[in-house]
Chain A
Amino acid sequence: MAVVETRGLTKVFKEGQLGAVNNVDLVTREGEFLVFLGPSGSGKTTLLRMIAGLEQPTAGEILIGGNVVNHLSPRERRIAMVFQSYALYPHLSVYNNIAFPLKAQKIKKELHREKVEWASSLLGIGGLLDRKPRELSGGERQRVALARAIVREPTVFLLDEPLSNLDAKLRASAREDLEQFHKRIGTTTIYVTHDQVEAMAMGDRIVVLHQGFVRQIGTPKEVYDDPADTFVATFLGSPPMNLLESDDVVVGFRPEHFLPADRLREGSRIPLRFRVTYLEFLGAERILYGSLAGSRFEEKEVLSRLPAAVSEAFQVASVYDFGVASESLRFFDRQSEKRTQPKAIAWQ
């Protein structure tokens, strides 16, 4: 078990261009499940590959267990990685796939069977050992990849979008399996994904990346409730946070906090008129699309997300009394887009 740390880590692929990863400082905690979350092209996979030793950083340091590992090759870093495509060796049986790291690291042959059986039973694939990868389903392949990763008992686990090749239903159960698995083995794990639901559900902490910069590091609750800037505010949450520009600040509030006025306490309520233009019924909730009416934010587009418990009927093209509690507001600097102190702003 070990802590991974990066100091000023930077990767520039083409000189003169913006880096794929820029000046990233982060430290994992012992046994933590850390998620790198960002849209495609945000540098999360490059960051992971640098930690694995598959890419050389342009600048900065990587430490695993307190030692600088920049000069070490992937095999010397005692890490395990699960790839997006699983990268199972197509010409080897499941048994030999799982035993591959043991052979490669010249671990005594007598120990192989025992270790492979331990890893495969942990993942419930003991019955598949004689098959070839092409004879396995997507979920089984993922388990083989995980078994191959744990068999040598690594100090750190790196997972690169391991669920993205599974269909939606399998993904949910595989997510749960992964969480259980992490709880059982307790190894420090870094998990890359572009799926915010995965990140929120699995991460002890989330590192939000955008254009190679770390935008925020925090628990799922922190990044959702207290986004550090407007990118995090709109990237997390579906639908995203409503943002209104007012002078030098941007005011944000989540769609689930933008409710019919009578649902909010009178004292802290900021009343807003809402013209509904489109309605989506999603079963457990409704999404109302529309714009503000009759204030200085006239025509600004906003969304409201109503739980099933709110049963009022809403008509398209009608205007309703809505509002948002003042404690639900988040303020950002308009220039830097960073979070700022709450400010009094004129609403009308």
Chain B
Amino acid sequence: MLGHWSVIVAFSVVLAFPFYWMLITTFKQTSDLYDITNNPFIFNARPTLEHLRLLFGETLYLRWVGNTALAGALVVFITLLLALPAAYALARLTGNWGQRLGIAIFLTYLVPPTLLFIPLSRVISLLGLQDTIWSVVVVYPSFTIPFSTWLLMGFFKSIPKELEDAAMVDGLTRFGAFVKLVIPISVSGILTVVIFAFTLVTQEFVYALTFIAPEAHQMVGVGVPTFLVRGDVYYWGSLMAACLITSLPIALVYNLFLDRFIAGFTVGAVK
């Protein structure tokens, strides 16, 4: 029992610490932050709102968050729109080739962005999408779709075929059975894909940096370090505030759906 609790406490401290660090740094005066004789874990001077004022007043932080949320939502939508039918077809309709094709698709996910961003930037400029969030909306699905397809394939395979047979005998077409039966049963898998694709959009750096230059169109992951690190000056308080505000909602969603999320990943992993 004691061992059990000590493990829980140890992990909680490890996991909560970055949030605590971001939180106090957000409100610390810069002089407090840089004085190495101070205890770094507590406030040694009065807390300040100066860093938040800088973040919201002198950068386009809110705009970047909005850009990221919009791009994230679009990428999630495109990913689901393409990966759901693809995964179903590969899991059910393509016979022996489905599995091999699924693995082949998954392999494309392993090609690193650092290799791809040069050819893709040509594609983006051909499409005339440079310097807009549409550039990342077009590019991100190229790696969210393969992974999501592979994950959902495992999910669909775990659904007994007889269920769909029953639905078809009961009066649905195969497409109807897919929409009204397979998708509702696979909510955990779909949720996993949603969270995966969305977090990927918020954290991606290479493409967002190379494809978008103007301040107003930045994604949050690029805008924050670009405009809050000026020369060799790090605006730590504002940087931490930006990280805290961006990461809290995602952390909350993760926790809310943790059980389903784990189910999603284990099914995908085993099958």
Residues of A within 8 A of B (CB): 49, 52-54, 73-75, 79-81, 83-85, 87, 89-91, 100-101, 104-105, 148, 152
At the interface, yes or no: B170 with Cβ under 8 Å from chain A? yes
Query: Shortest beta-carbon distance, A178 to chain B, in Å?
Result: 18
Bound-state Cα–Cα, A111 to B116, Å:
58
- Known A54-B168, A74-B169, A75-B171; judge A104-B176 contact (CB<8 A): yes
Q: Which residues of B contact A (CB under 8 A)?
A: 160, 162-163, 165-173, 176, 180-181, 184-185, 187
A83 adjacent to B162 (CB under 8 Å): yes
A305 to chain B, nearest CB (A): 39
Q: Assess whether A87 is in contact with B173, with CB atoms less than 8 Å apart.
A: no
A192 to chain B, nearest CB (A): 13
In the complex with contacts A91-B184, A91-B185, A104-B176, A75-B168 CB distance below 8 A: yes
Q: Are B165 and A87 in contact (CB under 8 A)?
A: yes
Q: Is the CB of B171 within 8 A of A83?
A: no
Of B160, B167, B185, the contact of A85 (CB 8 Å cutoff): B160
Nearest CB on A from B9, distance (A): 35
> B interface, by DSSP: helix, strand, loop or mixed?
helix
Tell me the minimal C-beta distance from B150 to chain A in angstroms. 24
Q: Write the nearest CB–CB distance from B259 to chain A, whole angstroms.
A: 16
Would you mind naming 13 contact pairs between A and B with Cβ atoms under 8 Å apart?
Answer: A52-B169, A53-B168, A54-B165, A54-B169, A73-B173, A81-B165, A83-B165, A85-B160, A87-B160, A87-B162, A89-B166, A90-B163, A100-B167
Task: For residue B187, give the distance in angstroms from its CB to the closest CB of chain A.
Answer: 8
Q: Which among B162, B167, B170 has the greatest number of chain A C-beta atoms within 10 A?
A: B170
- A80 touching B169 in the complex, CB below 8 Å, given contacts A90-B185, A91-B184, A91-B185: yes
Chain A residues with Cβ under 8 A from B166's Cβ?
81, 83, 87, 89
Q: Which residues from B are CB-within-8-Å of A73? A: 168, 173
Residues of B within 8 A of A74 (CB): 165, 168-169
Question: Can you name the residue of chain A whose Cβ is closest to the Cβ of B186?
Answer: A91
Residues of chain B within 8 A of A79, CB atoms compared: 169
Q: A74-B169, A100-B170, A152-B171 are in contact. Are A84 and B162 (CB under 8 A)?
A: yes
Q: Known contacts A89-B181, A90-B185, A91-B184; is A101 also within 8 Å of B162 by CB?
A: no
Q: Could you say which residues of chain A place their CB within 8 Å of the CB of B176?
A: 104
Instruction: State whether A101 and B171 are in contact (beta carbons under 8 Å apart), knowing that A87-B165, A87-B166 are contacts in the complex.
Output: yes
Among A49, A84, A101, chain B packs the most CB atoms within 10 A around the CB of A101
| Cα–Cα, bound, A53→B16 (Å) | 57
Q: Which residues of B contact A81 (CB under 8 A)?
A: 165-166, 169
Contacts of A152 in B (CB 8 A): 170-171
How far does the alpha carbon of A115 sit from the alpha carbon of B165 in the complex, in Å?
Answer: 23
Contacts of B167 in A (CB 8 A): 89, 100, 104
- Which residues of the other chain, B, contact A83 by a CB distance below 8 angstroms? 162, 165-166
Who on chain A is nearest to B165 by CB? A54
**Chain A: which residue is nearest B181 at the CB level?**
A89
Cβ-closest chain B residue relative to A49 = B165
- Which B residues lie within 8 Å of A75 (CB)? 168-173
Give the docked Cα–Cα distance between A87 and B163 (Å).
5
Instruction: Provide the residues of chain A in CB contact with B173, threshold 8 Å.
Output: 73, 75
Q: List 7 other contacts, CB 8 Å, given A73-B168, A75-B168.
A: A74-B165, A85-B162, A87-B163, A90-B163, A90-B185, A91-B185, A101-B170
Residues on the B chain within 8 Å of A53, using CB:
168-169
**B162–A105 contact, CB under 8 A?**
no
User: A residues within 8 A CB of B171?
Assistant: 75, 101, 104-105, 152
Tell me whether A104 and B162 are in contact (CB under 8 A). no
CA–CA, A87 and B159, complex, Å: 10
Residues of B close to A85: CB separation below 8 A: 160, 162
Give the docked Cα–Cα distance between A150 and B160 (Å): 22
Q: How far is the CA of A152 from the CA of B162 in the complex (A)?
A: 19
Task: Chain A residues near B170: list those with CB within 8 A.
Answer: 75, 100-101, 104-105, 148, 152
Measured between beta carbons, the chain A residues less than 8 angstroms from B180 are 104
A339 → B minimal CB distance (Å): 38
Residues of A close to B162: CB separation below 8 A? 83-85, 87
B263 → A minimal CB distance (Å): 13
Min CB distance, B5 to chain A, in Å?
Answer: 33
| 8 shortest interchain CB distances as A-B pairs | A104-B171, A87-B166, A101-B170, A105-B171, A87-B162, A75-B171, A74-B168, A83-B162
Nearest Cβ in chain B — how far from A164, in angstroms? Answer: 13
Q: Give the residue among B167, B169, B171, B187 with the most A Cβ atoms within 10 A.
A: B169
Docked Cα-Cα span, A152 to B184, in Å, equals 23
Partner of B172, one of A52, A90, A104: A104
Q: How far is the CA of A84 from the CA of B165 in the complex (A)?
A: 12
CA distance A54 to B172 in the complex (A): 12
Q: What's the minimum C-beta distance from A204 to chain B, rounded to whole angstroms? A: 23
Instruction: Kindly report which residue of chain B lies nearest to residue A78, judged by CB atoms.
Output: B171
Q: Please, which residues of chain B bring their CB within 8 A of the CB of A52?
A: 165, 169
In the assembly, what is the distance between CA of A8 and CA of B169, in Å?
24
Minimal beta-carbon separation of A341 from chain B (angstroms): 46
State in angstroms the CA–CA spacing of A85 and B170 once bound together.
16
Q: What residues of A have a CB within 8 angstroms of the CB of B181 in the complex?
A: 89
Complex CA gap A49/B168 in Å reads 12
CB distance from A251 to the nearest CB of B (A): 44
A297 vs chain B, min Cβ distance (A): 49
A91 to B159 CA separation, bound complex (whole angstroms): 12
Cβ contacts under 8 Å, B160 to chain A: 85, 87
Chain B, residue nearest A90 (CB): B185
Bound: A156/B134 CA distance, A: 55
